[in-house]
Amino acid sequence: MGEYYNYIKSLHLIFVITWFAGLFYIPRLFMYHIEASQKPSPEKEILTKQLKLMTKRLWFIITWPSAILSTLFAIWLLLMIPAWLQQGWMHIKLGFVVVLFLYHWRTHQIFKQLQNDDVRYSSNYMRIYNEVSTIILFAVVFLVILKNSINWIFGVVGIVVLAILLMLGIKLYKRIRDKNPEV
């Protein structure tokens, strides 16, 4: 496999982790930005300015570079082990990677809208939107670890159950928050 395989794989995983860290946190910042836009002046302007700066730094210093570097190291791994491209689990994984890039691109569009003070979504929408990357992460990790089509069926059922539990958790949190705004 080559003497550099473990180094390339490690770098790929490190940048996947930092990419997901950015994708997990930026919708949270979007939520705060949306909520700040509903506050009275001068609190609205102060918070919005700070949140724009935070999201810009997260997006361009951590998230985008991590997406690019994890992709480059992934391509390098596929060039080192082209036989992976013949395996069904890799096709499904790459399908999820395409979905992840679509999610990333959509997140970039929302980022640009909020940078221009164009608030189109509710903070509750962003809470739900935030869980898409979680579902993709679960799918990819289980797929890469199991690599078996029979186990993949259980994985799909597990992802659906996870999605349902996440949605129920969001609804429960909303109820708790509505009763106690300090939470």
Token duo for residue 47: 């918070």
pLDDT in tens, 61-80: 999 999 999 999 999 999 99
Positive or negative: CA dihedral 66, 69, 72, 76: negative
Asked if residue 5 has pLDDT above 90, the reply is: yes
Asked if residue 155 has pLDDT above 90, the reply is: no
pLDDT in tens, 103-119: 999 999 999 999 999 99
Question: Closest by alpha carbon to 132, among 27, 13, 17, 18?
Answer: 27
The residue written with tokens 């980022």 in the block is 111
- Enumerate the domain spans of the chain: 5-179
Count of helices and strands (H, E) across the chain: 6, 0
Under 8 Å between Cβ of 22 and 62? yes
Query: Annotated binding site for heme: which residue ranges?
Result: 12, 93
Helix 123-146 to helix 5-36 angle, to the nearest 10 degrees?
170
Query: Annotated binding site: which residue ranges?
Result: 12, 93
